[in-house]
Amino acid sequence: MLSKGTVTAYDARAMSGVLFRINHSKVQCFLRCTKQYWYRYVSGLAWPPDPGAPAPVVGKGVHRAMKVLCETGEPADGRAELDAYLRMPAHARAGPGTEWHATAFELFEAGCAAHATIESEWSRPELDTWVPSVRRGIAVSARADRADRLRGGRWQLIDWKTGRWELDETVDAQLDIAHLALRTQLRLPREAEVTAVAWNLRSGDRRVRQLTRDDAAATMERMARVAARMQATTEWEALPGPGCVLCEWREQCDAAAEAEAAAAEW
Ligand code: SF4
């Protein structure tokens, strides 16, 4: 059995800020709109208040319940976790009696059905680690919702999805980074192959990637190149698009307002 990782000298350097820290959200933000990246990670401005959408509460609650299910194998434990989470006053927008509350439990029941199909010899919920590379000058924050060693010794990681839609290429990039978490935290041997799955509990769709150590190295190289671009960027161009709808800085962003006005003229 591969043991839980201990803090290495590399980890210590990553934590001390020697290495440039990067993660999936940061990369996607930078590639989508450098102005948004500036707002979030460079400006130092206080983040706008949480708009209070119920979907993130549902997503977080279902992920918490799926973690407990993986820990104990008992659906009742996951249900209890979800129930308590959604009854918290801060989560009233998806509380009992709302349609969001019902949706959360439907998603969790779909998760229980998914869990029952996994022929696991050993499992672990929520891998979350740093993958430092001194040579590349980066530390990648990597996480996966669940890891399993399946019968026959194969490895699988899962990222649970609860949304209505995701861009395929964004999901693939997220799985590639989750793969780093699995290889690093569980110290997988070089020859180990990993099945990485984005499993949507709403639709039942599974997006599957078969990944090797070479893929992990390619992911690190790609992260290093994006990190170099991030560090070299001094002009923060706004790129208004469909993603503006979800941007927490939209109210402050002149470019988004101009794009909306131009669209209205057309
Ligand atoms: S509102 Fe749109 S253009 Fe403005 S920062 Fe956000 S994503 Fe970029």
238 CB less than 6 Å from ligand 1?
yes
Tokens representing residue 35 in the block: 């102005």
Residue 43 CA to ligand 1 centre (angstroms): 14
20-24, 28-32, 46-50: least confidently modelled range = 46-50
250 CB less than 6 Å from ligand 1?
yes
Question: Containing H/E element for 106?
Answer: helix 99-117
Tokens representing residue 187 in the block: 């110290």
Tokens representing residue 214 in the block: 């070479």
pLDDT surpassing 70 at residue 4: no
Pair 30, 38: CB distance under 8 Å: no
Distance, CA of 234 to CA of 129 (rounded, Å): 29
Residue 101 CA to ligand 1 centre (angstroms): 31
Residue 9: the pLDDT is 53
Pocket test for ligand 1, best of 29, 30, 250, 252 (most atoms within 8 A of CB): 250
Pair 157, 178: CB distance under 8 Å: yes
pLDDT tens column, 155-176:
999 999 999 888 999 999 999 9
- Give the angle subtended at the CA of 55 by the CAs of 60 and 42, to the nearest 5°: 75
Q: Average pLDDT, whole number, for the chain? A: 91
**Residues pairing with 148 in the sheet:** 123, 156
Residue given tokens 């560090």 in the structure block: 231
pLDDT surpassing 80 at residue 264: no
**Strand-pair category, 20-23 with 138-150:** parallel
Tokens representing residue 93 in the block: 């927008």
- pLDDT bin (cut points 50, 70, 90) of residue 261 is confident
pLDDT tens column, 98-124:
999 999 999 999 999 999 999 999 999
- Average pLDDT of the residues in 73-86: 98
pLDDT tens column, 213-222:
999 999 999 9
Residue 253 CA to ligand 1 centre (angstroms): 6
Tokens representing residue 166 in the block: 């995701």
Residue 74 CA to ligand 1 centre (angstroms): 43
pLDDT surpassing 70 at residue 11: no
54-58, 62-66, 244-248: least confidently modelled range = 244-248
Distance, CA of 207 to CA of 196 (rounded, Å): 8
- pLDDT bin (cut points 50, 70, 90) of residue 257 is confident
- Give the angle subtended at the CA of 161 by the CAs of 160 and 164, to the nearest 5°: 165
Share of the chain above pLDDT 70, in %: 92
Domain boundary assignment for the chain: 1-49+121-234, 51-117
- Average pLDDT of the residues in 78-82: 98
Residue type at position 160: W
